Chains A and B, each alone.
Chain A
Amino acid sequence: MSLSGSQTFGVDSLALSDLPGNTSILLTGDDSAALEAIFYRLVAAPDSEQSIVLATDSDGRSTQRALKKALRGAADRASVLSCEGAARGEDVTSVEDMSDLTRLGMDFSGAFAEAQQDPDPVRAGILLCSTIMGEVDDTRSVYRFLNSNFLSQLRRGNALGVCAIDTSADIGTDVNSTIAGLETSFGARIHVESTGRKQATLEISGLSNHDGTVDVSW
């Protein structure tokens, strides 16, 4: 039912390699452009892999363009759940109301089950989980969504997952306390500190031999 445990993932543009399956990454930062750039580099699927992207703040075409920009051909290997605009284009599903986590959860489960009909390993990502947190009334349902859907699918599918939080967003609670909690449920964290135009320093923890700081540009 799940992929073999030997699956590993790499991100050439960020000099990350040999990330094991079922790696969950909490991606944080207060510069949304930098956060987005790093997110798409992490989830863009190279040949023989596939992606599932839940995009809360952009439409399907923009999401596909961002994937394509991150890695040539990645858009063709992605299934997008978009919370903005109509479902235009192949492999784009429109999410009418992101605060309807019942539907969103089913859409996400469905996309994962569909992807697993194919043997290609899966990368999955949420950009931005902080937007969902800001939309729902009860944060417990977001935790249930993350436990039930996101983290469970990564575990079962031996996938690579990235959940992005914009720390400058108003999520109706103490963002630092929330991240401290989220960090314990995720295997790794990458914090993006913007250092200039299209430049950032990544603070990486939980990715074994990659832990430390890395300067990147795009």
Chain B
Amino acid sequence: MYANDVSNRTVLCVDTGDAVEEMAEAIRAEDGLEPVTATSITEATAQLDSQSVDCVVTEYELSDGTGLDIVKQLRSNDPQTPVVLFTDVSPSEIETASFEEMIVEYLNRELPDAFDRLGFIVDDVITHSAQVGFLVPDSEGSRLDALAEYDVDELPIEESFTRLTDLIADRFDVAVAFIGLIEKDVENFLACTGSDWDSLTREDTICTHSMLQEDVMVVEDINEDSRFANNDTLQNLGIVSYAGANMTNKDGEVIGQVCVIDHERREYSAAERETLQQFAATAMEILELRQSLRNARRTEVEA
């Protein structure tokens, strides 16, 4: 399990009139969930603008639109926040034509156990990041634990990594070379030669796919790959080709990627892929050594 902070999960409940209180009560009954309420899309929008929420539960029929309007708005700003449509309107009566490919959890509130089930489902979708648009490895919990062992913000690695990405960009003659660590929701770039990327939402990155395969992943042209062709973020960054190698710790957990990006289509030979993998191993070694040094110094101080 790779839970969020279970003591502080805010759930926005959206329903008309008094019905919202009944919905909120069902949420409040589940440990660790705290409801906030809205009775219209306008109110819900104001709530979403003013605070961060962990999940949205909404009725379909609202006074100023439908629950899917809220989903659409939420997806454009925060695509990973899960939504539960809690309604007695059957799926066949729900107008989805302009919302295709927007996944929500559906729970028929007329089912005998609907209100008991609601809190359980909300807790589950938050805990398991159940509506993210990327594949979550079965070992995600231990992977994130492994990543948390590195005090990345405290380690003097930026200069070393930047020298390394400079070398990689030069070696491959590419527009961008970067080293990124893949967190629960985002990829953080520790060094990036050729651009100034800081972080990207995980579902927008190619690395979240690359990290799932053992060997170096190459995408010669993202426009020819349905996983990335419609990804506006990648398009806006001018990314056309990609190659990524895993940074794998001693226990086999993939915590990050070393990647090269170009603004034009390109291929990578077997030798080039091997070289990129070597660079990824080098980046991992630098990280391990820096962390070991920090741990040793900490032990000295404590002694």
Across-interface contacts of A187 in B (CB, < 8 A): 138
Which of A102, A117, A156 contacts B101 (CB under 8 A)? Answer: A102
Which of B94, B131, B138, B225 contacts A148 (CB under 8 A)? Answer: B131
**Complex contact A137–B101 (CB within 8 A):** yes
Task: Tell whether B105 is near chain A: CB-to-CB under 8 Å.
Answer: yes
Which of A133, A148, A171, A181 contacts B130 (CB under 8 A)? Answer: A148
**Complex contact B96–A147 (CB within 8 A):** no
**Complex contact B107–A102 (CB within 8 A):** no
Task: Tell whether A205 is near chain B: CB-to-CB under 8 Å.
Answer: no
Task: Tell whether B43 is near chain A: CB-to-CB under 8 Å.
Answer: no
Q: Which of A5-13, A35-43, A172-180 contacts B (4 or more CB under 8 A)?
A: A172-180
**Complex contact A144–B133 (CB within 8 A):** yes
**Inter-chain contact count A-B, CB under 8 Å?**
147
Residues of A in contact, count (CB < 8 Å): 48
Measured CB to CB, the closest approach of chain A to B54, in angstroms, equals 15
Task: Tell whether B209 is near chain A: CB-to-CB under 8 Å.
Answer: yes
| Among A137, A177, A183, residue most surrounded by chain B Cβ atoms (within 10 Å) | A177
Cα distance A151–B111 when bound, in Å?
22
Task: Tell whether B192 is near chain A: CB-to-CB under 8 Å.
Answer: no
Give me the interface of B with A, judged by CB distance under 8 Å. 68, 82, 85, 90-91, 94, 96-97, 99-108, 111-113, 116-117, 120-121, 124-125, 128-139, 203, 209, 212-214, 217, 225-227, 229-231
Listed from nearest, the 3 A-B pairs whose CB atoms lie closest are A172-B226, A140-B133, A141-B101
11 A-B interface contacts by CB (under 8 A): A102-B104, A106-B96, A110-B91, A136-B226, A147-B135, A149-B105, A173-B225, A173-B226, A177-B209, A177-B213, A177-B217
